[in-house]
Structure 1
């Protein structure tokens, strides 16, 4: 089955550009962790597309993290990623509802907030 084009791919492209700005550099210095996102078109665990957001180097790449283990791995649906990235969904509430699954360090996961993404006015 061909991979569905995810809406979140566009946001991740914007994030990649944002992390190269002065404001993005501040975010990287503050967080300095590596996150892997397993984003599913419809249902968590099925047809997932993997993205790595490396806030140590400022890289956003498609595919699993290749530098060891990411600090935290998030699994969620494309539409929920969009809500998180735009600040329309609280990550803690998403986790409690089961819309967001987390593996790895919970303290690292808690440092990944919607603040990491450029504000909607910049999108």
Structure 2
């Protein structure tokens, strides 16, 4: 990651060298969630699109019934590859990528193949 930005403005120098500017940057932050895979490569991505569409349609009703925030951490080889938050506690409901903006009531950490088996009804969550 970049550590320093060096900017050389194009100005006419009368006497002496041209002035330059630079900005020292702080330590680079690691992304909150690495994305080694493209979203289109994940089997679960269309499922989250469907859930998001459903929340937009009936989110207000779900907020009244559920009143909870869920964070789903989808893993591969023990590392989180995708995070989604389903907020059925505030407003008319929302779903967005990333960790919960407010404290989640429940965090599910689940490998993608297991998540897909649950969604497809091939596995009993009990």
In the superposition, the TM-score normalised over structure 1's length comes to 0.61
Q: Work out the CA distance in 1 between the residues paired with 2:84 and 2:44.
A: 10
Q: What's 1:46 paired with?
A: 79
Matches within 5 A, 1:1-123: 2-4=35-37, 5=39, 6-22=42-58, 24-40=59-75, 42-43=76-77, 45-57=78-90, 58-67=93-102, 69-92=103-126
For residues 2 and 75 of structure 1, do their structure 2 counterparts lie closer, same or farther at Cα, with a shift above 3 Å needed?
A: closer
- Greater fraction strand: 2
Q: Work out the CA distance in 1 between the residues paired with 2:56 and 2:79.
A: 32
Q: What's 1:111 paired with?
A: none
Q: Report the Cα offset of residue 39 of structure 1.
A: 0.1
Moved over 6 A (4+): none
Q: Which runs of 5+ in 1 are unaligned?
A: 93-123
* Two-structure CA RMSD over aligned residues (Å): 2.0
Q: Work out the CA distance in 2 between the residues paired with 1:88 and 1:25.
A: 30
Q: Report the Cα offset of residue 25 of structure 1.
A: 4.0
For residues 84 and 27 of structure 1, do their structure 2 counterparts lie closer, same or farther at Cα, with a shift above 3 Å needed?
A: farther
The count of aligned residue pairs is 88
For residues 2 and 26 of structure 1, do their structure 2 counterparts lie closer, same or farther at Cα, with a shift above 3 Å needed?
A: closer
Q: Which runs of 5+ in 2 are unaligned?
A: 1-33
Which structure has the larger Rg over C-alpha atoms?
A: 2
- Greater fraction helix: 1
Q: What's 1:104 paired with?
A: none
